[in-house]
Amino acid sequence: MLSEHIVAADAAAIRRGVFINLTGVAAEIEGNSEFKDQYFAIIDRFKEKYALNLPRSVLKSEDILKLIPSYNLKQAHSELTEELLQIENIRTINVTNTTLSKDVFTWDGSSTTGLVFLKNTLQQYYPIIPVWRYYLKNHNPAKHVALDGITGKITKAWQFVGKKADVVNIIPYGDLTYPCISLCDLICGYIRNTVHHIDDKEIYRQLKDKTHAYVTTEFIGDDDIEYFDIKYPHSLKTELHLPHPLFLIHKSKDMDPKIVRDADFFQLLLRHVEKKGGAVCFEDFLNQQPILKKGIV
């Protein structure tokens, strides 16, 4: 169960030709129950207007891309996001943007280009970055963090967030089950669709008049690399941050996870988590042993 005062985060890669930018959004919500009620009311109207046949009511940008006709796509995404942005329980919105031009050196002494590191490594845990900046800037922050599913190893930004927060939840498919994370995903998609030149000032101008929340946007790049490159060879141990109850899905080794994710039962399972809380993930007995031993699945 999430707290009433929470900061949620998600991220997306935005491509413009050969240019790739990581954009992260952290949204602070005060009064999460009221926020959820308003979120679901808005989603219900949206689904009715566009005749969306979907068992769940938590949507992400990819759902709109798949389900809305192309001639209505941009309008529908903007309409939904701008209405959600008007919910007064949203207290702050922190947006970060990252591109890297210099080589990145990791804990084992190896190096890679900034672009390769951004695409293959940083993207896996980028939702941490806007939360790190949120905690740096706020004197009375939320102490409960909800991140969309991430993987990776320990960074200084992760250590900073972990020490500032009382609770950190990492939620696989969080943007399909938790309204607060869905909001962050939809804002990322909104930025992709409405800001042609990914620039902090442009993003700020696009968002500031659409919401009652306090909006900050900033570029995080090569000068900040020490906070998000990998300095330690240890995993984030995401399994210790899963909300419960936990619904584990068993599949054969040769089965494509996408087949499972597209199945009707998976959508119904997401709906159950949407209503009751917890998380859905594929079983990984090697890494999930600590929580299995506690009998909290």
SS in 3 state form for 68-84?
CCHHHHHHHHHHHHHHH
The closest of 123, 236, 168, 139 to 8, measured between CA atoms, is 168
Query: Is residue 288 a part of any domain in this protein?
Result: no
CB atoms near residue 45 (< 10 Å): 12
DSSP state of 153: B
Q: Does 185 reside within a domain?
A: yes
Overall number of domains in the chain: 1
**Parent domain of 72:** 5-242
pTM attached to this predicted model: 0.94
- Specify if 105 maps to a domain: yes
Model confidence pLDDT, tens digit, residues 49-86: 999 989 999 999 999 999 999 999 999 999 999 999 99
Q: What is the pLDDT of residues 242-267, one digit of tens each?
A: 998 888 887 667 767 677 777 788 89
**H/E segment holding residue 63:** helix 61-67
Report how far residue 289's alpha carbon sits from residue 275's, in angstroms, rounded to the nearest whole number.
Answer: 27
Q: Does residue 253 sit within a domain? A: no
Average per-residue pLDDT in the chain?
92
Q: Which CATH number belongs to the domain containing residue 16 in this structure?
A: 3.30.420
Give the Cα separation of 126 and 23 in Å (integer).
8
> Any residues with CB less than 8 A from the CB of 106 and at least 6 apart, and which?
112, 229, 230, 231
Residue type, 41: A
Residue 160, CB half-sphere, CA atoms under 13 Å: how many? 16
Percent of the chain with pLDDT over 90: 76
Residue count of the chain, please give it.
297
97 in a structural domain: yes
Asked if residue 154 belongs to a domain, the reply is yes
Distance between first and last Cα of the chain: 15
9 within a domain of the structure (yes/no): yes
pLDDT at position 295 is: 47
Cα torsion 269, 62, 80, 97 to 10°: value is 120
Least confidently predicted of 5-19, 222-236, 279-293 = 279-293
- Kindly provide the residue ranges of all beta strands, DSSP E only, lying in 55-109, ordered along the sequence: 90-98, 104-105
* 21 domain-assigned: yes
State the average pLDDT over residues 82-91: 99
| Bridging pattern class, strands 111-112 and 104-105 | antiparallel
Question: Would the pLDDT of 27 be above 70?
Answer: yes
Q: Are 280 and 273 in contact (CB under 8 A)?
A: yes
